[in-house]
Amino acid sequence: RKEVEQDPGPFNVPEGATVAFNCTYSNSASQSFFWYRQDCRKEPKLLMSVYSSGNEDGRFTAQLNRASQYISLLIRDSKLSDSATYLCVVNRVTSGTYKYIFGTGTRLKVLA
């Protein structure tokens, strides 16, 4: 089982739709969680950190469920420009060293 798992998609949604992605992680000791966005043939860029109480940034809402070990990303009122791959990132602490583990990403296509 992968340490961080995501549905690869693609999720094809019409403009204006609401779409949600989940990401599950296996290490219950993980403490830091992020969503990154990666456009085709570009570098990943931080979209938002995910906090325990959940957090919102405009049309984007991130939630953390520690009991079930998953994080989610909700995008409201989808725009064409939201088309990208969304990477889930979880930290792993080993002998005091922090490492970030990246999921393989969920592809979103927003259709006109």
Whole-number Å distance between alpha carbons of 51 and 79: 25
Report the residue from 28, 53, 68, 97 that binds other proteins according to the rule CB under 8 A.
Answer: 97
Whole-number Å distance between alpha carbons of 49 and 1: 24
Residue 111 CB, shortest distance to other proteins, in Å, is 24
Q: Please give the backbone phi and psi of residue 38, each rounded to the nearest 5 degrees, phi first.
A: -130, 115
Q: 29 — alpha (psi -120 to 50), left (phi > 0) or beta?
A: alpha
Report the residue count for the chain. Answer: 112
Of the pair 38, 69, the CB lying nearest other proteins is at 38
Stretch that binds other proteins, among 20-28, 29-37, 65-73, 74-82 (CB under 8 A): 29-37
Stretch that binds other proteins, among 9-17, 63-71, 72-80, 83-91 (CB under 8 A): 83-91
Binding site for other proteins (CB under 8 A): 4, 8, 32, 34, 36, 42-46, 49, 87, 89, 91, 97-100, 102-105
